[in-house]
Chains A and B, each alone.
Chain A
Amino acid sequence: MEMEQATPTVVSPKLRKKKTLNQGYWQKYGVFYLMMAPALIVLIINNYIPMVGSIIAFKKITYESRSFIENFVNGQWVGWKNFEVLFKTSDAWRITRNTVLYNIVFIILNLIIGVGVALLYNMMRNRRLAKFHQSVMFLPFFLSWVVVSYLVYAFLNPQLGIMNNLVLDWFGVEDVNWYADTKWWPVILPILNTWKGIGYYAVFYLAAIISIDKEYYEAATIDGASKTRQVMSITLPMIRPIIITLTMLQIGKIFYADFGMFFNVTRNAGALYETTLVIDTYVYQGFLVSGNIGLSSAAGFYQAVVGFLLVFGSNMIIRRISKDDALF
């Protein structure tokens, strides 16, 4: 048992390995495999079989047999044909552009506003009030996108909504048909994303800021450093690890859109697709509404592979710059 310790000792690694390989190993660690079994079964069904199943994008599925598995196995290999069709449509570019651009805007806003809000919280003189505001700001994070779509609908309903009835009238501007006019959504969606998520990001940044030793600030104050200077030279460098981790996690998902937002809040209005259709909603629409397995599975495969390469690539870059900040 004392051999199991990971700490390097004088014992040669080979000798240690021999000992762990014997029968005692299973007696001691066998139960670990049992403990992991339920989650593994879920992963196999939920993740790993679908990963293998994504080769469906290279097949042409017919509905000859009643059994889906038979149809899948008998499906003819068509190579890259589904992808050729996908990239010939204008949709391919549109969904890629929308997905990536929205995510870039979201990441930047979450970073700047999240850190900014956390900094200001920390500077408020009345701590009780700061706590109150933090709680209120966190509320939208708890609402589902279905609920948010109701709230948005109450504002944007073309006939009855607050925007057309109250706000625009007040400014003397003509009514906007929100659910048919594409040009407003690149503004509306980032606002909503920030509104819903900023409390969540601020919590992380605030926790990091609070844990900074006060002595740094005291020393800086004695040296006559201004508040701005203290933020730039103490606070931001100290919370850099959490900034990088949270941002990296989002960059890793840059090829994935928040289905709930793009589908629900826009009410999946076809007229808005130019600025609201993203890869996830495209796959759903193509597959479950139009029933086009080839095209939508190709889009899904494209998303999975490019998304994976992007996470991997960005992690490699971070590793180059500073190894400790890499996710893996």
Chain B
Amino acid sequence: MATVTSKSKRFDVNQLSPGPNLIVNIMFWLYSALCIIPILLIIGVSFSDEKQILIHGYKFWPEKFSIEAYNFLLNDWQPVLKSYGISIFVTVVGTAVALFIMALFAYPISRRDFKHRNIFSFIMFFTILFNGGLVPYYLMYSQILDLRNTMFVLMMPMFVQGFFVLVMRAFFTNSIPTEVLESAKIDGAGELKTFFGIVIPLSLPVIASVGLLCTLGYWNDWFLSLLFITDNETISIQFRMYEALLDIQYLSANSAAYSAILQSNPGFTMPSETARMAMAIVGVGPIIFAYPFFQRFFIQGLTVGAVKG
């Protein structure tokens, strides 16, 4: 076959002929543009002059360039910074704890010689199939445990996710050779030592991919805030963005800075449309910057989890 020669790389059997290839290329360029354009629009608006926006509507390219929106946010940077802190804390600690306790659960149920593995696998699997609904769940956290307005309530509900545990179990079962565990046992290592010393180091791919999914889940979560956060203290960055879209005043509701501006300049109007979009950029920034790094691991890692348990 021709493909076995040195030219094999350039002559992939799946490749299209040049004509159709061009059409496919154009389609992909259009679609990729669709994925990026909305973000460019937000950036464009955030750097626009508020008055021009109010007259002409949002524009991809600012008719009059202005950084007033960012100035406005900077005037009042403490709440935004604090929200960042809360989001980062919840994401880092939440992911670490979640990975730890999920791996601890997934390992025993991956061991074929563990007699109760089916029962405990089922206990985990059943939570994917069935849940009690929002009302008892909300009452559990808010009334019985009384965890409202804590960072803990933003983390605990996502500590254990059945699907991730099953993915880990599948990896432990399929990718850790039984011989390795056997030899560790012969060397006299206990189960805990085997787990931390051998199983975990061999399972970094699955831990990384589940970890990335957890990180994304925590960072992007605002639903738990919507349910459980009622004060002005524990506002994550996503929740602040959510509030700001509903009501731009929210961005500076408690701000002494805003009233100070108003006092010195009564004619001052808040750059509400542009500030709102600037807020979105501030909120989405880390994801965009981390994205090129993230997505490579993600694409590799997701397929690790594609092994059926």
Q: Which A residues form the contact surface with B (CB < 8 A)?
A: 1, 4-6, 20, 25, 28-29, 31-33, 35-36, 38-40, 42-43, 45-54, 56-57, 68-69, 72, 120, 122-126, 129-130, 132-140, 142-147, 149-151, 153-155, 157, 159-162, 164-166, 195, 200, 203-204, 207-208, 214, 217-218, 221, 227, 241-242, 245, 252, 259-260, 264, 267, 280, 283-284, 287-288, 293, 296-297, 299-301, 303-304, 307-308, 311-312, 328
Contact = CB atoms under 8 A, between A and B. Distances in A.
Contacts of B195: 35
B280 to A, nearest CB: 4
A42 B144 contact: no
27 contacts: A1-B185, A5-B113, A29-B114, A31-B190, A36-B104, A38-B104, A52-B132, A53-B135, A125-B21, A130-B28, A133-B29, A133-B32, A135-B299, A139-B35, A145-B222, A147-B287, A157-B57, A159-B57, A162-B41, A208-B306, A218-B13, A227-B16, A260-B223, A283-B135, A297-B133, A297-B136, A303-B133
A20 B108 contact: no
Q: Is the interface of B mostly helix, strand, loop or mixed?
A: helix
A81 to B, nearest CB: 16
Contacts of B135: 53-54, 56-57, 283, 287, 293, 296-297, 300
A308 B32 contact: no
Q: Is the interface of A mostly helix, strand, loop or mixed?
A: helix
B273 A160 contact: yes
Contact of B32 (A124, A137, A297): A137
A307 B223 CA distance: 21
A138 B306 contact: no
Interface of B: 1, 3, 12-16, 18, 21, 24-25, 27-29, 31-32, 34-36, 38-39, 41-42, 45, 53-54, 56-58, 100-102, 104-105, 107-109, 111-115, 120, 123-125, 127-140, 143-145, 156-157, 159-160, 165, 185, 190-192, 195, 216, 219-223, 227, 238-239, 241-242, 245-246, 273, 276-277, 280, 283-284, 287, 291-292, 294-295, 298-299, 302-303, 306, 308
A308 B130 contact: yes
B58 A147 contact: no
B189 to A, nearest CB: 12
Contacts of B303: 203-204, 207
Contacts of A129: 25, 28
Contacts, number: 289
Contact of B102 (A39, A46, A136, A304): A39
B137 to A, nearest CB: 4
A-B pairs with lowest CB-CB distance, top 8: A300-B133, A53-B136, A50-B132, A144-B220, A165-B57, A68-B143, A4-B113, A39-B105
